[in-house]
Amino acid sequence: MTTNRGKYNEISRMIQQRGHEAEQLPTPYPEVQVESLEIVVLQGLYWLMQHYERPILVDDSGLFVDSLNGFPGVYSAHAYKSFGCDGILRLMETETNRKARFECVLGFMDIGKDPMLFKGVSEGSISTETRGEKGFGFDPIFVPEGFSETFAEMPMDRKNELSHRGRAFEKLFEFLG
């Protein structure tokens, strides 16, 4: 499903709350470098289906910062590994426009069926310092719209109610019925 532990924890919680079970596959699928979460997800679904032949769920997500023209976006995993939250804060040191959003594209493919994509967006802003210990990735610098805490200061269930991933899952669960 995903090799990112933080994502997996959130995803397995939401799936368990609906009475289902998820299994984390051990192999990362080869990620094509393209400017679209959707293409990464579709390519991952087909690759995993070919190798595992079971219902497949893929999550590709990223942080899009307005004043950085959408960077790191589809390159978020790489940006996080190379310079992390502090790197984003440094890039934005003198920036007053702090608007940003998280996007998540979930792909689901059942054996012999067409792939389905579900997108969730969480609007918010970049804080001026890192805050909180929970979550993963850029959570310590992302403040969702209407709140003062970062995602890293919120319990997982609260984050899942507001997050890009939580919203994409609502659509997936609606589809699955």
Q: Contact at 8 Å (CB) between 62 and 72?
A: yes
62 sits near ligand IMP (criterion: CB under 6 A): yes
Q: What is the DSSP string of 111-145?
A: TTS--EEEEEEEEEEE-SS---SSSSTTGGGEEET
Residue 105: strand pairing partners = 60, 119
Interface map 101-140 toward ligand IMP (x if CB under 6 A): -x--------------------------------xxxxx-
60 sits near ligand IMP (criterion: CB under 6 A): yes
Pick the closer one to ligand IMP by CB: 107 or 135: 135
CB of 122 to ligand IMP, least distance (A): 8
Give the burial class of 62: count Cβ atoms within 10 A of its Cβ; 0-12 exposed, 13-18 middle, 19 or more buried: buried
Binding site for ligand IMP (CB under 6 A): 4, 60-63, 76-77, 80, 102, 135-139, 151, 163, 165
